[in-house]
RNA sequence: GUCCCCAUCGUCUAGUCUGGUCUAGGACACAAGCUUUUCAAGCUUGUGACACCGGUUCAAAUCCGGUUGGGGACGCCA
């Protein structure tokens, strides 16, 4: 059993292509067959090396490895020889405009295909015009190269998007004329954009790399894509690639088009971030931290932030968001926006913060419990409330009005930064004209 | 225009093949509550669907026909 994914390097790998690839990959792995990657680069003008690299890179990132790699651009002579064969047998003819194109005669008959997902589909080929096999520049057309390669590469199951259903009768005719054995077809539904219709850039991100840049974990994206048109059963929503291989069957794939839902993808991503091992999470976070200038390429130790990650991984939906939340730990001074300043520092808290600072300075063990005790005794001795002091303190230390539990945060931030930032806020009270 | 595909909560889906166990289950989102130093997370509860019409049958989300709606294809692009 052999399947293939056949992207064209005329653009980035997009969501729909990735899902088609995923279903092929899953079916191959589930059945113990081979998964062939075939690059359909017959259009030399539009095919680009950067797109090829990007497609390969995205597939690897998603964890979809291939057993064979082929390039159509290296096989033009093969296509041409098959075209000449059809020419000799009278099943094709030269274009009469002298362009050198070779065109297949379309016989008039009824073609029936037995699709693994849709069942029987019938076509009247008298409605289809003659098909160009070889273009005037001697390159093959898609439908021709596709059939030759699928046959020669012994592809047994063709799993591809719904949009290829209307190509199928044209290809079946070619299989018959060439005397090739017919593969099985499985046409999976397309993924629709938010407004219905094809996913477009306007309706959100389409390229896999964009999702990577937005801070999605590959296992979350793969999980989401699996759920679009297939269900593992038992109300299971979270499923790994490994687990899916055990349960996947193309026969149980849906036939209804699915609308892409960013909310559910975000939810899945948050679920995966929550359970991601700190070392791996740190490694995945590295590009984002670099991008923000929080770290240098060479001196980043993932271990050093694992404690901090534990505080934040429960409340992040993307790596981008997570890395931004980590800002207070990497910058020297935190910025405090006007709204937060207005809300929490409109009155002078010099006395309170000074007292807190004394309490913190006195701690020999700067960890959660003593920190909390120090804070609570300060509150009691000042005759104020937790609420009154804890929010201004959060803003002073993190620059943000929201975040993890205060005492865990302070421990993670460390004594030095904590005291510096309390000092800084005290100074700002002095400088404020009242 | 012609041909093809599809139709269960707003969205993803289970159930459809093998009609009764479905007053239709789960997830996201939404709403409320609990928890609470904030925001989340978590937990509990709630709102919410078989597109429509007809047929077959004792019985239809499930089978059949039609209507409507949505999507796709009609390139010397892939």
Helix (H) or strand (E) holding A16: helix A15-31
A199, A149: one domain: no
> Which residue minimizes Cα–C1' distance to B28?
A264
A109, A178: one domain: yes
pLDDT at A202: 66
> In this prediction, what percent of chain A has a pLDDT beyond 70?
99
Kindly state whether residue A248 falls inside one of the protein's structural domains: yes
Find the Å distance, CA of residue A360 to C1' of nucleotide B27: 46
A11, A158: one domain: no
Domain extent, residue A177, equals 75-188
Distance between CA atoms of residues A142 and A133, nearest Å: 8
Residue range A103-128: mean pLDDT, rounded: 96
A122, A197: one domain: no
Find the Å distance, CA of residue A35 to C1' of nucleotide B7: 33
Distance between CA atoms of residues A54 and A52, nearest Å: 5
A86, A145: one domain: yes
CATH of the domain at A347: 1.10.10.350
Find the Å distance, CA of residue A127 to C1' of nucleotide B76: 20
A55, A83: one domain: no
In this prediction, residue A152 has a pLDDT band, given cuts at 50, 70 and 90, of very high
Distance between CA atoms of residues A209 and A18, nearest Å: 11
Whether A170 contacts A87, CB under 8 Å: no
Q: Would you say residue A141 has pLDDT above 90? A: yes
Boundary residue ending a domain (A237, A267, A297): A267
Boundary residue ending a domain (A188, A213, A230): A188
Kindly state whether residue A272 falls inside one of the protein's structural domains: no
A180 vs A205, which has greater pLDDT?
A180
Tens digit of each residue's pLDDT (9 = 90 or more) over A289-301: 999 999 999 888 8
Nearest nt by C1' to A41 Cα: B78
Find the Å distance, CA of residue A267 to C1' of nucleotide B31: 19
A241, A106: one domain: no
CATH of the domain at A155: 3.40.50.620
In this prediction, residue A255 has a pLDDT band, given cuts at 50, 70 and 90, of very high
pLDDT at A199: 84
Q: Would you say residue A156 has pLDDT above 70? A: yes
In this prediction, residue A337 has a pLDDT band, given cuts at 50, 70 and 90, of confident
């Amino acid at each position: 059993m052999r399947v293939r994914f056949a992207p064209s390097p005329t653009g980035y790998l997009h969501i729909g292509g990735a899902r088609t690839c995923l279903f092929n990959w899953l079916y191959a792995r589930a059945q113990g067959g081979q998964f062939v990657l075939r690059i359909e680069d017959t259009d030399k003008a539009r095919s680009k090396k950067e797109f090829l690299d990007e497609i390969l890179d995205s597939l690897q990132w998603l964890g979809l490895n291939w057993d064979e790699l082929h390039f159509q651009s290296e096989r033009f002579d093969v296509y041409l020889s098959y075209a000449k064969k059809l020419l000799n047998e009278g099943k094709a003819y030269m274009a009469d405009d002298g362009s050198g194109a070779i065109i297949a005669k379309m016989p008039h008959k009824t073609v029936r295909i037995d699709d693994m997902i849709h069942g029987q589909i019938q076509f009247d080929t008298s409605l289809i015009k003659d098909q160009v096999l070889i273009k005037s520049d001697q390159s093959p057309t898609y439908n021709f190269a596709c059939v030759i390669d699928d046959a020669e590469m012994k592809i047994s199951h063709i799993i591809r998007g719904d949009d290829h259903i209307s190509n199928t009768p044209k290809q079946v005719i070619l299989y018959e004329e060439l005397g090739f054995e017919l593969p099985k077809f499985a046409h999976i539904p397309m993924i629709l954009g938010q407004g219905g219709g094809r996913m477009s850039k306007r309706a959100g991100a389409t390229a896999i790399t964009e999702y990577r840049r937005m801070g999605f974990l590959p296992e979350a994206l793969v999980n989401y894509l699996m759920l679009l048109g297939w269900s593992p059963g038992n109300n299971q929503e979270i499923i790994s690639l490994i687990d899916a291989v055990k349960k996947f069957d193309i026969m149980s794939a849906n036939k209804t088009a699915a609308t892409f839902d960013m909310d559910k993808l975000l939810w899945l991503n948050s679920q995966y971030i929550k359970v991601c091992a700190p070392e791996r999470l740190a490694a995945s976070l590295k590009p984002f931290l670099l991008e923000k200038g929080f770290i240098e390429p060479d001196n980043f130790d993932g271990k050093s932030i694992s404690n901090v990650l534990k505080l934040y991984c429960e409340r992040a939906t993307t790596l981008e968001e997570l890395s931004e939340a980590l800002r207070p730990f990497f910058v020297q001074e935190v910025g405090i926006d006007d709204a937060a300043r207005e809300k929490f520092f409109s009155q002078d808290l010099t006395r309170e913060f000074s007292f807190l600072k004394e309490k913190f300075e006195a701690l020999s063990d700067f960890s959660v419990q003593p920190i909390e005790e120090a804070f609570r005794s300060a509150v009691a001795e000042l005759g104020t409330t937790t609420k009154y002091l804890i929010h201004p303190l959060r803003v002073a230390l993190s620059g943000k009005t929201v975040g993890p539990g205060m005492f865990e945060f302070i421990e993670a931030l460390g004594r030095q930064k904590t005291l510096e930032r309390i000092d800084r806020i005290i100074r700002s009270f002095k400088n404020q004209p009242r």
